[in-house]
Chains A and B, each alone.
Chain A
């Protein structure tokens, strides 16, 4: 399967600050990819680079085999719903569809009209008077109806109420199923992404911490609990992601190449949220942190 997004050493700097550094990714097509990370981690920067809204400072990025934003053909292949789902407040819903039709050769008017009808949006209503959820759906319609191969969404549900959030994700997944889209969607909450994503990228403090298919990640990461012990006695193929210790007990989150044989450890499964949190915690810890002790 060809890659939908490939990045090598990708970096973006604003003045002195690196918003994204040393980012290397190889994301296969046909997945719904979740990009998770705390606020300020660089998610918006990465997505804007992929959509061709920004140019990299260092490194390279290729989307669907082409340089992002490099011309109408490339732009037609990628749909983008930016943060806060921008729409023209002065234009009506119907006029937004006209915008899409006039500016995109690949526009599918029937898809757009059907979605608008099903959502119950009034074509004559100005976008500025729509609710947040309706605006998000309008922006999604614009992104989907131009029939892209990849749809990128930057925190589309962050400011929506739970019902609007569910409806948005339903609409998104339906479009993904119908058009066989690849989707990359970001959020700072794992719960938004858990149902929809089958591929994950964790971004913390401008760097990629882990990336892979969700199933594989959950299968290879485990929580190990057991009596307190030194960590340099672990087998080579087990890599500690995060750790915490009391005076009697050690709890580790490890990524393991194979099964864990050591009987001293109790092995338990991780939820996706636990996994992401483990990587976020390990990122914020300095390299040589003294072992956390709970003194009695």
Chain B
């Protein structure tokens, strides 16, 4: 049976692994160069008065295309596997009637599925591991500084494409494709349904599930420039709204509200922006600092809920575990359905 499972998996497997091998080669060739360039640049700018902010900004901007491409590749790997390895696994056999041939050989259906599932399942996890870990290694210098910039590691697109969660996603996409294919009995429609279902789940999880995998940090802090992301004035009337960010760079902000001295949430702080301390005058930094001091004196505080950047690996492990458990549940369901219901 291992021979047959291998022979059936040959072509679809080779296609994906060939692509991954090519990717790995490209990453292996360019990775060390990238690291060297970064190290050299940091060494050069450390002694300078402005620090390395300019160099880093330039560095990230130079590589932003490459960053987007490798991240994108890791993001599409799990659904690719789900579609091309998972959906046809059982559906193709049911569609062409070959299940009647293979289930008449001296092998039980359970063993048949177990071998196919085991072989391709392991290949799935290996492929995802190869893709994700090689990209994580290559992009380490970019990720490190992304925390200071537009793409922190905890942001949903980057988190989904680094570390070990892609292994969980791939295993889940594979199991999902297999189960959907078994239920629908046709490979092509199964691929479509798997894609839609997987995409829906991947969109929902970062906002509905991931924040609650670990208890976030809640802090009530005084208003200060370090947590200020921006100030905006409403269209009519007078007042201001505070847009905050988390104190640590790269943290993942879940919610932020301004509260007054008695602890009530205010969306808009009723303070005049045309006169008084919060009216703009002089240099913007001084103007803001004066305004915030006044707001603090009035008792306004900012309540922040966020996950610190150090939460990256714990969240990765937990989320990967959840997806692997889902994949195992789908696999178990498939065995049950195969024996009891495909009759």
The reply to whether A and B meet directly (CB within 8 Å) is yes
Known: A72-B107, A75-B105. A82 touches B4 (CB 8 A): no
Binding site for B on A (CB under 8 A): 48, 51-55, 69, 71-73, 75-76, 78-80, 82-84, 86-91, 95, 98-100, 102-106, 139, 142-143, 146
A72, B7: Cα distance in complex, Å: 22
On whether the beta carbons of B106 and A105 are closer than 8 Å, the reply is yes
| Residue B343 is within 8 A (CB to CB) of chain A in the complex | yes
Identify which of A53, A73, A98 contacts B103 (C-beta below 8 A). Answer: A53
On whether the beta carbons of A86 and B4 are closer than 8 Å, the reply is no
Q: Which of B131-145 contact A (CB under 8 A)?
A: none
A80, B106: Cα distance in complex, Å: 11
| Residue B98 is within 8 A (CB to CB) of chain A in the complex | yes
On whether the beta carbons of A106 and B101 are closer than 8 Å, the reply is no
Smallest Cβ-Cβ distance to B101: which chain A residue: A86
On whether the beta carbons of B101 and A75 are closer than 8 Å, the reply is no
On whether the beta carbons of A53 and B104 are closer than 8 Å, the reply is yes
Residues of B within 8 A of A71 (CB): 108
Chain A min CB distance to B51 (Å): 61
On whether the beta carbons of B96 and A98 are closer than 8 Å, the reply is no
On whether the beta carbons of B106 and A82 are closer than 8 Å, the reply is no
Residues of A within 8 A of B212 (CB): none
On whether the beta carbons of B106 and A95 are closer than 8 Å, the reply is no
On whether the beta carbons of A80 and B4 are closer than 8 Å, the reply is no
Listed A/B pairs (24) with beta-carbon separation below 8 Å: A51-B104, A53-B100, A55-B343, A75-B104, A75-B106, A80-B100, A82-B100, A82-B101, A82-B104, A86-B97, A86-B100, A88-B101, A89-B96, A90-B8, A90-B11, A91-B7, A99-B4, A100-B105, A103-B102, A103-B107, A105-B106, A143-B104, A146-B105, A146-B106
Smallest Cβ-Cβ distance to A12: which chain B residue: B343
Known: A89-B96, A98-B3, A103-B4. A78 touches B101 (CB 8 A): no
Chain B min CB distance to A86 (Å): 4
Chain A min CB distance to B203 (Å): 35
Known: A95-B7, A98-B3, A102-B4. A72 touches B100 (CB 8 A): no
Residues of A within 8 A of B66 (CB): none
A51, B102: Cα distance in complex, Å: 12
Smallest Cβ-Cβ distance to B341: which chain A residue: A55
A52, B98: Cα distance in complex, Å: 15
On whether the beta carbons of A102 and B106 are closer than 8 Å, the reply is no
Most A Cβ at <10 Å: residue of B7, B11, B101: B101
Excluding A86-B96, A102-B1, A104-B106, 18 further A-B contacts by CB distance (< 8 Å) are A54-B343, A75-B107, A76-B106, A79-B104, A82-B104, A84-B97, A86-B97, A86-B98, A88-B8, A90-B8, A95-B7, A100-B105, A102-B3, A102-B4, A103-B4, A103-B107, A143-B104, A146-B105
Binding site for A on B (CB under 8 A): 1, 3-4, 7-8, 11, 96-98, 100-108, 343
Residues of A within 8 A of B343 (CB): 54-55
Chain B min CB distance to A46 (Å): 14
A102, B105: Cα distance in complex, Å: 9
A171, B105: Cα distance in complex, Å: 21
Residues of B within 8 A of A88 (CB): 8, 96, 98, 101
Identify which of A72, A89, A98, A105 contacts B108 (C-beta below 8 A). Answer: A72
A69, B103: Cα distance in complex, Å: 9
Chain A min CB distance to B130 (Å): 26
Chain B min CB distance to A3 (Å): 21
Residues of B within 8 A of A106 (CB): 106
A214, B296: Cα distance in complex, Å: 104
Most A Cβ at <10 Å: residue of B3, B97, B104: B104
Residues of A within 8 A of B1 (CB): 102-103
On whether the beta carbons of A103 and B101 are closer than 8 Å, the reply is no
Smallest Cβ-Cβ distance to B103: which chain A residue: A53
Chain B min CB distance to A159 (Å): 13
Residues of B within 8 A of A69 (CB): 103
Residues of A within 8 A of B11 (CB): 90
Chain A min CB distance to B6 (Å): 11
Chain A min CB distance to B191 (Å): 18
A76, B102: Cα distance in complex, Å: 12
A69, B104: Cα distance in complex, Å: 8
Identify which of A54, A72, A87 contacts B101 (C-beta below 8 A). Answer: A87
Known: A91-B7, A95-B7. A103 touches B97 (CB 8 A): no
Residues of B within 8 A of A89 (CB): 96
Chain B min CB distance to A165 (Å): 20
Smallest Cβ-Cβ distance to B2: which chain A residue: A102
Chain B min CB distance to A185 (Å): 15
Residues of B within 8 A of A91 (CB): 7
A139, B1: Cα distance in complex, Å: 18
Known: A54-B343, A91-B7, A99-B4. A80 touches B98 (CB 8 A): no
Smallest Cβ-Cβ distance to A105: which chain B residue: B106
Residues of A within 8 A of B105 (CB): 75, 99-100, 103-104, 146
Most A Cβ at <10 Å: residue of B8, B98, B105: B105
